[in-house]
Amino acid sequence: MSPFLNKLLTVVRKNNSLVCVGLDPDPDRFPEPLKNSRDAIYDFNRAIIEQTADIVCAYKLNLAFYEVQGPAGLEAMERTIRDIPKDVVVLGDAKRGDLDNTARMYARALFDHYGFDAATVNPYQGRDSVQPFLDYRDRGVFILCRTSNASAREFQDLTVNGHPLYVEVAKAVQAWNDYGNAGLVVGATSAESLTSIRDAAPGLPLLIPGIGAQGGDLASVIRLGADKHGEGLLINASRSILYASSGADFAQAARRAALALRDEINTLREKRKV
């Protein structure tokens, strides 16, 4: 088992959780008192982490929400990463993908500079654009396979070798997984694709966005996507947890929402075992 998978599995079992909270801060949605804080993004994230770190397996930081704020946003992101407990997985959602030399720089930035445990990567340019990330054998690499956006079908459902393109991606990533640190991104809004993806890549962990505000089918995700132990998934929710309340109790409300999601997932995992 790779160091990354060992870390992921350890925290999944310790916290009894497949919940991944997306720390995607939108200052326009912060409670009014917090909007006046000089460190609003960091303060918001810190409060969420303090309330949820014991009931999640991972946090996913989408870099766009930090880059848009310029250097101050990236500084807030770095401070946020340092505040996350060391046993919880920290995932950099950057969806990087470029020629191999540039990909090496992206991998160094995400893993060496920022210190993420895992990153999301776009495979459109083929293996040499992904390999620099996979070469970090102690880090996870979640490769876009079947995404949750409405127009994903324009390319991802195209037939290649008799299969949808996303199945070919899953097969390729399974073949690239020499170090046991590869995974796939599969949107919850396309849960029907999980059967063919699991057939193509039975052992890979799946990062599942699209639960919550995007309305993904959680029951289908668990039934079709979990491995034989009821694991192998990171189920991400962002807005439905971060903005469960717009008041001063936003962090406490976030905990309630994350706990409700964890409990719903665990109930479905138990039913799947029957």
As annotated, the active-site residues are 95
In angstroms, the CA 91 to CA 110 distance is 9
Among residues 140, 144, 155, the alpha carbon closest in space to that of 208 is found at: 144
Where does residue 95 fall: left (phi above 0), alpha (psi -120 to 50 degrees), or beta otherwise?
left
Q: Establish how many alpha carbons lie within 13 A of residue 232's alpha carbon, considering only the half-sphere containing its beta carbon.
A: 21
In angstroms, the CA 271 to CA 223 distance is 9
Our CA angle for 73, 52, 117, nearest 5°, is: 60
In angstroms, the CA 143 to CA 126 distance is 11
Alpha carbon 232 to chain centroid distance?
A: 12
Residues 6+ apart with CB under 8 A from 234: 8, 18, 20, 57, 58, 60, 89, 91, 205, 206, 207, 208
In angstroms, the CA 79 to CA 100 distance is 29
DSSP 190-206: GGGGHHHHHHH-TT--E
